[in-house]
Amino acid sequence: MLAKERRLIELRAGIEEVTPAQALALQAQGAALIDVREADEIALGSPPGAYRLGRGYLELRIEDAVPDFAQPLVTMCNGGVRSLFAAEDLRRLGYTQLYSMRGGFARWKNEGLPFEIPSSLDQRARARYARHLMMPEVGEAGQLKLINSKVLLIGAGGLGSPAALYLAAAGVGTLGIVDHDVVDRSNLQRQILHAEARIGMPKVASARQSLEALNPSVKVQTFETRLDSSNVEEIFKGFDLIVDGSDNFPTRYLVNDACVKLGLPNVHGSVFRFEGQVTVFWPKHPGRRGPCYRCLYPEPPPPDLAPSCADAGVLGVLPGVIGILEAVEAIKLLLGIGDPLVGRLLAYDALRASFTEFELQRDPACRYCGDAAKAIEYVDYEQFCAGVAA
């Protein structure tokens, strides 16, 4: 008897084999179906709800997919041999209820059991996002999430520039950009989406050129308009989250109100001279009810207490720090990983090279997101901010 045959007999003596129908029943009862085939095999079909981990990365990824070592696992390959070896490796890791599917996916398919053609990355995408694919927190499933995500950036300026570049580089499939302005020479000190040769060009057109040159697979939607009450919902429609890089109070209040009304996460950043801050306003976060922008600022401060960057200036590299932090928060939210800055504000002081975190409390009496909040109606935000200033 060959050594391989002896080894298979030993494995079958220690690991229970089940038919595809029994595997499907176990899955319905809470077992995890682990597809250990290679990516090219999985691309031809895989059972719905299966964890497609691949044999080569199984030990690295299994604990993130199935953290409960007592949960039943059914391993599956194409013919029923590799799944036996995979089950043995999982037993060594500490999993206690293990099954191997006899006949593999070939038998599953022949018996007419349900399967689907999963989305997958082509070779160019695998090369581009190789460092993401190595990370269990991202992997192929996470990268596909990013590719299928839609993020809207408010402004193609100091904050929107680095945020857009890194979101495009990360593979976010659709990036929308709202900006009514044109490129000015004074922008080039910090707005790295643009270039000297594009002075006078609409910022959204300049942004599209830079983003498509960086990652041609990203779809860039441009909105060369001023965001206002009449168009905000139509523009926000279809996006998963908003990255607010606006530099004026009327737009910030409008973005907040629309995000609260539509239930969208609002990744907010701002900069002033040597200081910046970033947070996530999302009162409808499924795990933590954070505040909205109006909980912190029911009314805008007088202009003399909050001068704009045009009046007070800003260190050119500072928006890069804050814009990249906004991109990080956006990616965490899209992937559903980590601890987002909901209910927390991260402040950065460039002169002291220090970060300070503040806890933000939701105002239960906030008339926009509070316990007794009424239906949101948009206002004339320019008039609202000007009235407070007066």
DSSP annotation string for 226-243: ---TTTHHHHHTT-SEEE
Query: Which residues of the chain form CATH 3.40.250.10?
Result: 3-118
- On the question of pLDDT at 307 being above 70, the answer is no
Strand stretches in 186-235, DSSP E:
219-223
Four-residue CA torsion sign, 14, 19, 24, 28: negative
**61, 53 contact by CB (below 8 A):** yes
pLDDT value, residue 4: 76
CB 168 within 8 A of CB 147: no
| Nearest one of 93, 114, 91 to 45, comparing CA atoms | 114
Direct distance between the N- and C-terminal alpha carbons of the chain, in angstroms, rounded to an integer: 94
Comparing 140 with 181, the larger pLDDT belongs to 181
pLDDT of residue 310: 66
- As a whole number of angstroms, the longest Cα–Cα distance in the chain is 94
Which stretch of DSSP H or E encloses residue 207? Answer: helix 203-214
pLDDT score of 230 = 94
Least Cα distance to 283 among 244, 257, 252 occurs for 257
The beta strand positions in the chain, using DSSP E, are: 16-18, 32-35, 51-52, 73-76, 98-101, 150-154, 174-178, 219-223, 241-244, 266-272, 275-281, 344-349, 354-359
pLDDT of residue 40: 86
Q: What is the mean pLDDT of the chain?
A: 93
The pLDDT-based confidence of 387 (bands split at 50, 70, 90) is low
The lowest-confidence range among 57-71, 182-196, 247-261 is: 57-71
Q: What is the mean pLDDT of residues 316-326?
A: 97
Between CA 170 and CA 382 the distance in angstroms is 35
Q: What percent of the chain stands above pLDDT 90? A: 78
pLDDT band at 311; cut points 50, 70, 90: low
pLDDT band at 64 (very low <50, low <70, confident <90, very high): confident
Domain with CATH 3.40.50.720 in the chain: 149-389
pLDDT at 389 over 60: no
* Highest mean pLDDT, choosing among 59-68, 276-285, 294-303, 372-381: 276-285
CATH of domain 3-118: 3.40.250.10
pLDDT value of position 57: 82
**Alpha carbon of 194 to those of 36, 159, 180, 181, 211: distances in Å?**
46, 13, 15, 12, 10
Whether the Cβ atoms of residue 214 and residue 168 lie closer than 8 Å to each other: yes
* CB contact at 8 A, 149 and 313: no
What interhelical angle do 318-335 and 139-147 show, nearest 10? 110
> In this structure, what token pair is assigned to residue 183?
């490129």
- Percentage of the chain with pLDDT > 70? 96
DSSP lists the bridge partners of residue 359 as: 344
Q: How high is the pLDDT of residue 119?
A: 83
Output the pLDDT for position 143: 96
Q: Is the pLDDT of residue 309 over 80?
A: no
| pLDDT at position 382 over 90 | no
Q: Which residue has the higher pLDDT, 79 or 384?
A: 79
Q: Cα–Cα distances in Å, from 148 out to 173, 219, 238, 319?
A: 5, 11, 12, 27
pLDDT for 1 beyond 90: no
* Class of domain 149-389 as given by CATH: alpha beta
